[in-house]
Amino acid sequence: MKGLAPIVAVIAVLAAVPFIVQSNATLNFLVVSLMVALAGQGWNILGGYAGQYSFGHAAFFGTGAYVTAILQVRYGVNAWVGFAAGIAAGAALGAVIGALAFRSGLRGSYFALVTLAFAEVLRILASVAPITGAGVGTLIKLDLGAQTFQFQSRAVFYWVILGLVGVSLAAARLIEHSRLGVWLIAVRENEDAAEALGVNARSVKSLAMVISGAITAAAGCFYAQYFLFVDSGIAYGTWISIEALLTPIIGGVGTVFGPLLGALVVKSLGEGAKLVTGDVPGLDLILYGAVLVLVIWFTPGGLIGGFAQLRKRLMRSATRAAASIQEAGHG
């Protein structure tokens, strides 16, 4: 399939990392970064390609995490089945929120606020409902084994999340090159013009929301499996809503590799800030904000957009230089 080669190459390179890096702290950092990249890719399908900016992707992340955890703890369901059910629950929630928001024609900031409201309502419900463990949260019993989706080695978790990220990258690429992708971008750029060309804006946006919800929920399922603990503040907290939208915006909104690049950069900056400032709470958030402002200021297309611009400028000056050399030769 055309366009998948770069994805395979990037995943192959990243897959080699655990052979070189043995430090648990570093691997842990990479696992969390990849998990955020996965959540961000989910956001990117809806926000980047379809242009519907959600402020509440925690709704999907948390649903994935809770469904995975609760099915195992309360109903004794196999962890892998729970994982798949979590992804399906994210997709279903996407369909519900999409139907409600798009049917009533919400766009732009209204859509963003509604998604935020959904995430907050779910957070509050999860913090009081008995089934989620209310304020105490849900703890998955430690039981190492492939069958329980629990691994001693961080490297295995790293490969699992890397595999999921690889699938999400391939999904983004396939969507980009499909009719759905073309129509999503058309809706993002101009909904009326798209409708005039036969695009059912409501249904393509809803479909994007379903795919988006499934991918971000997968990140949540992974969270539950990796940390073996979920509570309402983690699962439905604003932190993940923010990181899910920040990573693609910084990396390159509406690009395949944007979320991955953004996640690695943002997470590295966060760690860097912690090293410099010690553990002053909130300082890494201030840094996030500053980086976001700088990126949007200088390259509205994110880092990938910035690289593309730089390359174009270099090529233009190169051709100009070549032309002037030629002219000098003629003179």
- Dist CA 318 CA 309 (whole Å): 14
| Neighbouring C-alpha atoms within 13 Å toward the C-beta of 18 | 18
- Which contiguous run of DSSP H or E holds residue 30? helix 24-43
Shortest Cβ distance from residue 195 to other proteins (Å)?
4
d(CA 302, CA 170) in angstroms, rounded, equals 20
- Kindly tell me which residue out of 74, 103, 179, 316 binds other proteins, with binding defined by CB under 8 A: 179
Q: CA 194, CA 103: separation in Å to the nearest integer?
A: 17
Answer yes or no whether residue 104 interacts with other proteins by CB under 8 A: no
Kindly tell me which residue out of 143, 189, 294, 326 binds other proteins, with binding defined by CB under 8 A.
Answer: 189
**Which of 104, 153, 190, 317: binder of other proteins (CB under 8 A)?**
190
- Contact call for residues 42 and 240 (beta carbons, < 8 A): no
According to DSSP, residue 130 is labeled: G
- Of 102 and 183, the one with the shorter C-beta distance to other proteins is 183
* Piece of the chain touching other proteins by CB under 8 A; list 38-46, 72-80, 164-172, 189-197: 189-197
Q: How far is the CB of 193 from other proteins (least distance, A)?
A: 4
Radius of gyration of the CA atoms of the chain, in A:
21
| Candidate ranges 101-109, 177-185, 244-252, 271-279; the one touching other proteins (CB under 8 A) | 177-185
**Which residue in this structure is represented by tokens 């300082």?**
283
Count of residues making up the chain = 331
* Smallest separation, CB 104 to other proteins (Å): 15
Closest to other proteins by CB, 190 vs 319, is: 190
326 touches other proteins (CB under 8 A): no
Nearer Cβ to other proteins (58/209): 209
Q: Work out which of 65, 69, 73, 194 binds other proteins, going by CB under 8 A.
A: 194
Instruction: Mark 240-269 with x for binding to other proteins (rule: CB under 8 A) and - for no binding.
Output: --------------x---------------
Closest CA to 37 of 164, 128, 123, 131: 164
Residue whose CB is less far from other proteins, 35 or 199: 199
In the chain, where do the E strands start and end? Answer: 138-139, 229-230
Question: Among 15, 117, 195, 269, which residue interacts with other proteins (rule: CB under 8 A)?
Answer: 195
Query: 3-state DSSP call for residue 62?
Result: helix
User: Of 75, 130, 192, 279, which lies in the binding site for other proteins, with binding defined by CB under 8 A?
Assistant: 192
The reply on whether position 46 binds other proteins by CB under 8 A is no
Q: Which of 32, 13, 20 is nearest to 234 (CA)?
A: 32
Q: Is the dihedral of CA 280, 285, 288, 292 positive or negative?
A: negative
Does the footprint of other proteins cover residue 143 (CB under 8 A)?
no
The minimum distance between CB 200 and other proteins, in angstroms, equals: 5
Between residue 199 and residue 238, which ones bind other proteins under the rule CB under 8 A?
A: 199-201
Count of helix runs (H) and strand runs (E) in the chain: 15, 2
Binding site for other proteins (CB under 8 A): 177-179, 182-183, 185-186, 188-190, 192-201, 254
